[in-house]
Structure 1
Amino acid sequence: MSLLKLRPSLLILACIVAVSGCQSANKRKQELAYIERPVEQLYNQGAQELDKRNFDRAILLFNEVERQHPYSEWARKSMVMTAYASYQARDYDEAIAGAQRYLSLHPGGSEADYAYYLIAVSYFDQIVDIGRDQRTTELALSALQDVTRRFPNSSYARDASLKIDMVNDQLAGKEMEIGRWYLRSNQTLAAVNRFKKVVTTYDTTSHTPEALHRLVESYLTLGLRDQALAAGATLGYNYPGSDWYKMSYRLLTKEGLDPEADSAPRRTLIQKIIPGGK
């Protein structure tokens, strides 16, 4: 079949697509057309669409509340509901922007605590595995800390605190991954800095015992016997039954060092690692 014979068919198809596009555009215009309605009716319709998980339709209706009744209490609430609908639709950028818009206009509004929380969980839900860039994880941590600092007695703060522990564990895991890579690459000093950061900044996470063991390994490699003993003693004092301490204990005793000797002072985790700690 020649190209010339195909052209009429292509023209018909193009017309069908154009007509279909116009119909869709007209439908959208009808949905956004100004039809004055009571504020409660608009808001409740938006809430109903949200319950049905028709997020785009819910957003349109909440926006319509703002457009038709801009100075009402319902308009303020609709701003937060629009951000929440975007969050439920996993449009996190729109959710964050919507919550930030609310806070810029109503910083002391009754929904401010939830707006801050919505920003935090929007970042939190975007956290990726430790093998990738952790910029979003850092933003999540900052936003979660904002919630606990501003609204310490709220239910949002309690949930934010739990999420902060998870975020810190994620960031500590990233530091450990980088530190292990430095060790494998024989960049021991760089590895030490990563492991020390875990011990000093993320000391309540699940990665701390391994970080202390890696410090024992690294210090022994560098010939820093006193620092290796201090790290081992700290590991034994804080995690005496862990496999990491058992491995560190074997390494140290091979070098004639005893982390359980009476001469090894028992101080806190941070004091043991920071030079000059008391």
Structure 2
Amino acid sequence: MRSSTGLALGVALMLGGCDTLSNMNPFDKPEVYKPEVVADVPADRLYNEGLARMQNGDSEGATKKFGEIDKNAPFSPFAKKGLILSAYTNYQASKWDDAITASKRFIAQNPASPDAAYAQYLMAMSYYNQIPDATRDQERTEKAIAAFDELLQRYPKSEYVVDAKEKVLVARDQLAGKEMNVGRFYLEKRNYTGAVNRFRDVITKYQTTRHVEEALMRLTEAYMALGITNEAQTAAAVLGHNFPDSPWYKDAYVLLESGGLAPREDRGSYISRAFNGFSRVVTGIAGFGFR
């Protein structure tokens, strides 16, 4: 059974409708909605228009055209081409997240394509170009390294391998720089244990970076402050053995000497073990301008 409220509402609507009809001029014809029919633009035309805009430096316009291919003809051969070019034009326009999304979609849909390595490279570079200075969170740096590592593993013969390896070195140097910044902060606050943990990560994880020499000297400094002299001596000895001309070694040597000590390596120390088989890698890394 319908409630009285519902009935009243129904009657009111009916009355309203009757009133509207009674006021209508019988010679007036109600307007009939006619949906506008937009003809689909052929995929090849969209593709060529996108190419033309890309060549004219209109990355945003090109991206739009390539995106329309995916909407109008997702299964056409031009859709695959449009997707990889969409990743490229977004990259050119510094729309890093859009470039990453398009690259991931292309790889997921076309894992065996000859262009998959290029899509992986675009993704990695999009992360790489967002690497912040060493004082900030390094999530994008880690994602860049992971993307480059995947490129090296999945496409070891691609033309992007050499550049990917160089970019990994730079990104790892940035991660080491972040650890050094935190370690120095702890050192200044006399939180020597916290400082040791950060510098230890640098010498065990980032030995090929430009920060490893200072990290060894800072370990000497922190362990001296803690009174753990054997580790301080080992850090200085390892520093002198691997980087004899380093100014950081001179500082470590003077610091030990001020305490009546000299560099002496304890082979059982984690510091000594970390450098077993170590060979210095000379690179042109300049980092991102932050120490």
Report the TM range for the smaller structure's normalisation. Answer: 0.7 to 0.9
1:54 to 36, 55, 58: 58
Of structures 1 and 2, the larger Rg is shown by: 2
Residues 84-99 of structure 1 mapped to structure 2, 5 A cutoff = 84-99=88-103
Relative to structure 1, is the Cα distance of residues 186 and 44 closer, same or farther in structure 2, using a 3 angstrom cutoff?
A: same
Question: Which of 152, 156, 161 in structure 2 is aligned with 1:157?
Answer: 161
Please list, as runs of the form range in 1=range in 2, the aligned pairs for 1:124-273 lying within 5 A after superposition. 124-259=128-263, 264=265, 272=272
Tell me which of 77, 100, 107 is aligned to 1:103: 107
TM-score, structure 2 normalization: 0.76
Q: TM-score, normalised by structure 1?
A: 0.80
CA distance in 1, matches of 2:274, 2:97: 40
Note the alpha carbon deviations across 1:124-148, whole angstroms, 9 max, x for none. 1011111111111111111111111
Q: Which letter maps to 1:152?
A: P
Q: Distance in 2 between matches of 1:115 and 1:160?
A: 13
Q: Would the aligned equivalents of 2:63 and 2:89 in 1 still touch at CA under 8 Å?
A: yes
Residue in 2 aligned with 1:37? 42
Cα distance in 2, alignment partners of residues 246 and 218 from structure 1: 16
The residue that corresponds to 1:3 in the other structure is: none
1:230–1:273 CA contact under 8 A, matched in 2: no
In the alignment of these two chains, the number of paired residues is 240
Unaligned runs of 5+ in 2: 1-37, 278-291
- In structure 2, distance between residues paired with 1:85 and 1:108: 22
Higher relative contact order (CA 8 A, sep 6+): 2
Equivalent pair of 1:231/1:273 in contact (CA under 8 Å): no
User: 1:155 is paired with a residue of what secondary structure?
Assistant: coil
Query: RMSD over aligned Cα, in angstroms?
Result: 2.4
Residue 20 of structure 2 corresponds to none
Q: Aligned to 2:114, what secondary structure does the other structure show?
A: coil
8 Å CA contact 1:165, 1:205 repeated in 2: yes
User: Is there any run of 5+ residues in structure 1 with no aligned partner, and where?
Assistant: 1-32
CA shift at 1:75, angstroms? Answer: 1.5
Q: 1:103 to 1:254 in 2, by over 3 A?
A: same
Are the counterparts in 2 of residues 141 and 167 from structure 1 also a CA contact under 8 Å? yes
Question: Given the superposition, is the C-alpha separation of residues 201 and 93 from structure 1 closer, same or farther in structure 2, using an over 3 Å criterion?
Answer: same
Moved over 4 A (4+): 273-277
For 1:160, the aligned partner's letter is A
How far off is 1:254 after superposition?
2.3
Q: Distance in 2 between matches of 1:275 and 1:50?
A: 50
Identity of aligned residues (%): 41
Q: Deviation of residue 96 (structure 1)? A: 0.8
Deviation of 1:256 after TM superposition, in Å, equals 2.7
| 1:228 to partner: Cα distance | 0.7
